[in-house]
Structures are given as C-alpha cells and as structure tokens.
C-alpha cells in the first residue's frame, strides 16, 4: 500500500537548509498496524505529512497503492486523501459548536453521496466507537476521550484504506488513551491499515511493527511477534 524509497525532505529558512528526512526507505502492506516512533525533531511528523499527502518530498520516491505521488496533481492528491485516507489528530480538530453527527459527516460533504446514505454512514461510524447516544450533542461538550472517539468515527466514515493517527493519546488521560488505542487495535484486527505516529513506547506497542526514526533516518524497523501490552500501567 505504501512504498517509500530514499525519501528526503529539505526545508530552507533564511537561506539555511535543514534536512528533515535523509533517505528514508520502507514499505507498509495492506492490513498492517505500524507505529512510527522518534523523539521531537526526529522527522516523524514530516514523514507523516508526506505519507498523508499534506506535503511533498524533495527527493526519493513515494508510491501510494502503486501510484507515485510525483504523477499526481494537487487535485488528484486531495481526492485520494479524502477517499482513501482517514485522520486522527492529537488535538481532535473538531468543530466544537457542531454536533457529533455534523462533525463526522464533514468528509462526506465533498462526495456525491446522497443525504440518506450519508446519514446511514455517519450513524454506523458513530456506533462503531460507542457514541450513538451522543449523536446530536455538541462536540464541545464532550470529554477528551469522547472527542477522540468522534475523530475516529470521522476518519472511518469514508471507509478509507488507511488511518493515519498522529499522537492520538497525547491530550488524554491514561484511561481514555487506553480506550482509543483499543479501538484502533480493534479496527486493525478487522483488516484496517493503521499508521500511528507516537513518542510513547506503550502506545507504540499496540502495533505489530515499530519503525524508529532518528535524525531523519530509519534507526530500526522491527516486527512485534506478540503484543505484550501493559494495559494496567498504560502511559
């Protein structure tokens, strides 16, 4: 699904170049649950932005579902991003004055899906994260854990091929964070591809594979044969 080879990203500020990525290479197959780990400034967020079509590399290659990002226009990237990718962010990115229903429906408004079908998809997505009783409550009145579950429902509503989760437990208490990771794990168990960016070891251990990034390069890439998740002392 994701094929990255010798990926590079350089930023220039005040004529001073900074290498955020220095030749990253790896592939992710459909159905994997992969954690990308690294300290602040390691390049993991830059890598996520490129993988999720929010940015373009300055070198190397990136193929998503067999097609090179270089062959796609900005309009094509936006279309693929909306259809095939779901996103869960640390800060939730919900519109607080809109209801749960309205927030989850947003990605569908850019499609040609009729209103009745949209309603069914929204209700199914919200039910999948256990918040059907909050369907018409304002998002701003929810707890942090509930907001992140709404964000997951929004990510699921377009039935994407991959979910990108950027520090999804970073603003949550340990119990809420555990619930979010259990949901992501359950989605992966059902065949959904999940790519998680985190700096937390216990969060990363929910994945089946951990890619460690340091100084813009892959430091290690290891498969986890058994998930020894310490749920009791999560985070």
Query: Mean pLDDT across the stretch 140-167?
Result: 95
In angstroms, the CA 189 to CA 40 distance is 30
Beta carbons of 168 and 90 less than 8 angstroms apart? yes
What pTM, to 2 d.p., does this model score? Answer: 0.91
Tokens 């290891």 belong to residue: 222
Q: Is the pLDDT of residue 163 over 70?
A: yes
pLDDT (tens digit per residue) in 169-193: 988 999 999 999 999 999 999 999 9
What is the torsional sign of CA 81, 70, 7, 208? positive
The answer to which of 56-60, 161-165, 197-201, 219-223 has the lowest mean pLDDT is 197-201
pLDDT band of 15, cuts 50, 70, 90? confident
**For residue 195, what pLDDT is reported?**
97
pLDDT (tens digit per residue) in 40-88: 889 999 999 999 999 999 999 999 999 999 999 999 999 999 889 999 9
Q: Is the pLDDT of residue 199 over 60?
A: yes
**For residue 230, what pLDDT is reported?**
58
pLDDT band of 23, cuts 50, 70, 90? very high
| Nearest CA among 129, 201, 160 for reference residue 52 | 160
Q: Is the pLDDT of residue 233 over 60?
A: no
pLDDT (tens digit per residue) in 81-134: 988 999 998 899 999 999 999 999 999 998 889 999 999 999 999 999 999 999
Task: Tell me which of 3.90.920.10, 3.40.50.300, 3.40.50.720, 3.40.50.1110 is the CATH number of domain 29-45+84-223.
Answer: 3.40.50.300
pLDDT (tens digit per residue) in 146-158: 999 999 999 999 9
Q: Which residue has the higher pLDDT, 222 or 229?
A: 222
Tokens 């649950």 belong to residue: 33
**For residue 110, what pLDDT is reported?**
82
Q: Which two tokens stand for residue 116?
A: 């009745």
In angstroms, the CA 79 to CA 139 distance is 26
Q: Is the pLDDT of residue 234 over 70?
A: no
């Amino acid at each position: 699904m994701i094929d990255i080879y010798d990926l590079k990203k350089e930023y220039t500020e005040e004529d001073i170049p900074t290498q955020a990525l220095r030749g990253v290479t790896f592939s992710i197959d459909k159905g994997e649950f992969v954690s990308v780990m690294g300290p602040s400034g390691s390049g993991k967020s830059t890598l996520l932005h490129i993988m999720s079509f929010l940015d373009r590399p300055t070198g190397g290659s990136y193929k998503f579902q067999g097609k090179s990002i270089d062959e796609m226009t900005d309009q094509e990237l936006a279309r693929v991003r909306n259809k095939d990718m779901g996103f869960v962010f640390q800060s939730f990115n919900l519109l607080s004055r809109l209801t749960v229903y309205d927030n989850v429906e947003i990605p569908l408004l850019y499609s040609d899906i009729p209103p009745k079908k949209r309603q069914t998809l929204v209700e199914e997505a919200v039910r999948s994260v256990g918040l059907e009783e909050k369907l018409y409550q304002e998002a701003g009145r929810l707890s942090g854990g509930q907001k992140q579950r709404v964000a997951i429902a929004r990510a699921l509503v377009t039935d994407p091929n991959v979910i990108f989760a950027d520090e999804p437990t970073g603003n949550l208490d340990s119990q809420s964070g555990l619930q979010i990771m259990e949901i992501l794990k359950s989605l992966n168990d059902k065949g959904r591809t999940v790519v998680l960016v985190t700096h937390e070891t216990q969060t990363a251990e929910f994945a089946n594979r951990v890619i460690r990034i340091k100084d813009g390069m892959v430091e290690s890439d290891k498969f986890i044969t058994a998930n020894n998740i310490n749920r009791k002392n999560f985070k």
